[in-house]
């Protein structure tokens, strides 16, 4: 059956890495069970430029009717002073689709070991998943206000919002090492106190799993000091945003980390964890691995295309093992050269 994918390339390096992801998809489509159609829609700064809004109604309607959404990245200096920014469009999209569960896997393959600024002996074997609550917390809490002299936000969580993301984390942990680290600031924040007691309650439903709590400040330190001690980390929206960029130091670049965002029902969204990288946009040097791995997450989690996803991952690993790297990892390859190398690897295996 034809699966409809809405493609939101976005801004900055977004279209460059999306182009790479779609080329890789084209190379594996013959081994997919389903057939796929792709529909590009303006979003973010591109939405503002083309249709006057970061999340144009036609884009939202297409996303709501899609089987999955692929997103590049949004934002940039051109739009940051506007009343309705690309970032607001991204938050509105996440909220509209009720994408509460953001899954951010972080692993360090042996080919990347030397690129981490952390000693290889510490990062070797890193394989963790950050489960970030994505549709609530301080990103969305009301009231909020900004004046010339005063500003505030509201970090608000309902118990049901905390419970459902904890369930997501435990279910993921059941398929892994059965250990969940819940990260909060329960020594200070009311929202974190509720987070912690709710985590304890949900944990009772998963007697096969172990739950530990860490405060976010200490967790940020331990993530770098001893990353292999973590398996599934579950945390609120803002802490998950910060810890996942921090975790990208382990494999050596923000440009290699993908993500998946799920609701209870309806289309999931797949996007790199990084932004539009205005500092390198237009140079053709962005690392497309984050987008390519987001594609593999889509193939697995929305469409059960395990062989295709595995082939992409293996091909990516093979290219890295040959010493082909983009600039962020100290290599010389352009986005296109790196992408072509992956496609050569895929084609070698499939034909």
The binding site for ligand NAD (CB under 6 A) comprises 13, 17, 73-76, 87, 90, 254-255, 271, 274-280, 286-287, 290, 328
**Restricting to residues 224-263, which ones interact with Mn ion according to CB under 5 A?**
241
Catalytic residue, from 36, 100, 139, 270: name it. Answer: 139
Exposed / middle / buried, residue 243 (Cβ in 10 Å: 0-12, 13-18, 19+): buried
Contact positions with ligand IPM (CB under 6 A) in 284-343: none
Cβ distance 258 to 272 under 8 Å?
yes
Restricting to residues 246-275, name those near ligand IPM by CB under 6 A.
273, 275
Indicate the residue among 202 and 297 with the shorter CB distance to ligand IPM: 297
328 noted as active-site residue: no
Distance, CA of 342 to CA of 27 (rounded, Å): 9
Rank residues 174 and 336 by Cβ distance to ligand NAD and give the closer one: 336
* Residue 211 vs 273, nearer CB to Mn ion: 273
Q: How far apart are alpha carbons 161 and 138 in whole angstroms?
A: 13
From residue 209 to residue 248, the character string flagging contacts with ligand IPM as x (rule: CB under 6 A) and all else as - is: --------------------------------x-------
The two structure tokens encoding residue 73: 């990245």
Closer residue to ligand IPM (CB): 271 or 305: 271
The one catalytic residue in 11, 67, 241, 328 is 241
Q: Residue 327 CB, nearest distance to Mn ion (Å)?
A: 21
In the annotation, is 217 catalytic?
yes
Would you state the structure tokens that stand for residue 38, as one six-digit string? 């792709």
Q: Tell me, yes or no, if 245 is annotated catalytic.
A: yes
Residue 9 binds which one of Mn ion, ligand NAD, ligand IPM, none, with CB within 5 to 8 A depending on kind? none
Among Mn ion, ligand NAD, ligand IPM, none, residue 76 binds (CB under 5-8 Å by kind): ligand NAD
Clarify whether 185 is annotated catalytic: yes
At closest approach, how far in Å is the CB of 45 from ligand NAD?
Answer: 8
* Interface positions, 183-202, toward ligand IPM (CB under 6 A): none
Active-site choice (185, 206, 270, 328):
185
Residue 320's binding partner among ligand IPM, Mn ion, ligand NAD, none (Cβ under 5 to 8 angstroms by kind) is: none
Pairing of strands 101-107, 260-262: antiparallel
Q: Identify which of residues 254 and 343 has a Cβ nearer to ligand IPM in the complex.
A: 254
The burial of 244, by beta-carbon neighbours within 10 Å (0-12 exposed, 13-18 middle, 19 or more buried), is given as buried
Distance (Å) of CA 173 to CA 66, 128, 166, 258, 291: 29, 10, 10, 19, 25
Among 17, 90, 118, 216, binds ligand IPM (CB under 6 A): 90
Q: Is residue 271 close enough to count as binding Mn ion by CB under 5 A? A: no
For ligand IPM, give the closer residue by CB, 139 or 303: 139
Supply φ then ψ for residue 350, to 5 degrees: -90, -20
- Applying CB under 6 A, the residues found at the interface with ligand IPM are 75, 87, 90-91, 241, 273, 275
- Applying CB under 5 A, the residues found at the interface with Mn ion are 241
Active-site positions?
139, 185, 217, 241, 245
């Amino acid at each position: 059956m034809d699966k409809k994918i809405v493609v939101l390339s976005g801004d900055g390096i977004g279209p460059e890495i999306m182009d790479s992801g779609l080329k890789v998809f084209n190379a594996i489509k013959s081994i997919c069970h389903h057939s796929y159609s792709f529909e590009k829609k303006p979003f973010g700064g591109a939405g503002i430029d083309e249709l006057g809004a970061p999340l144009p109604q036609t884009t939202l309607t297409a996303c709501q009717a899609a089987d999955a959404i692929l997103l590049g990245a949004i934002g940039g200096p051109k739009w940051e002073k506007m009343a309705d920014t690309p970032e607001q469009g991204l938050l509105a999209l996440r909220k509209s689709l009720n994408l509460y569960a953001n899954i951010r896997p972080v692993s360090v393959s042996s080919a990347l070991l030397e690129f981490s600024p952390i000693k290889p002996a510490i990062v070797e074997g890193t394989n963790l998943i950050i489960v970030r609550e994505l549709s609530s917390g301080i990103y969305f809490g009301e009231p909020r206000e900004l004046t010339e002299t005063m500003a505030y936000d509201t970090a608000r969580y309902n118990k049901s919002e905390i419970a459902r993301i904890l369930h997501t984390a435990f279910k993921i942990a059941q398929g892994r090492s059965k250990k969940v680290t819940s990260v909060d600031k329960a020594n200070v924040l009311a929202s974190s106190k509720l987070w912690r007691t709710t985590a304890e309650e949900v944990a009772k439903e998963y007697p096969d799993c172990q739950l530990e709590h860490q405060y976010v400040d200490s967790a940020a330190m331990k993530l770098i000091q001893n990353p292999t001690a973590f398996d599934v980390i579950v945390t609120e929206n803002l802490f998950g945003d910060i810890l996942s960029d921090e975790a990208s130091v382990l494999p050596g670049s923000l440009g290699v980390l993908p993500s998946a965002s799920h609701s209870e029902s309806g289309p999931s969204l797949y996007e790199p964890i990084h932004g539009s990288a205005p500092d390198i946009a237009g140079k053709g040097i962005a690392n497309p691995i984050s987008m390519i791995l987001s594609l593999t997450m889509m193939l697995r989690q929305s469409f059960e295309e395990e062989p295709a996803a595995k082939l992409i991952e293996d091909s990516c690993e093979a290219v890295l093992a040959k010493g082909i790297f983009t600039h962020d990892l100290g290599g010389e390859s352009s986005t296109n050269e790196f992408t072509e190398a992956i496609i050569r690897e895929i084609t070698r295996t499939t034909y």
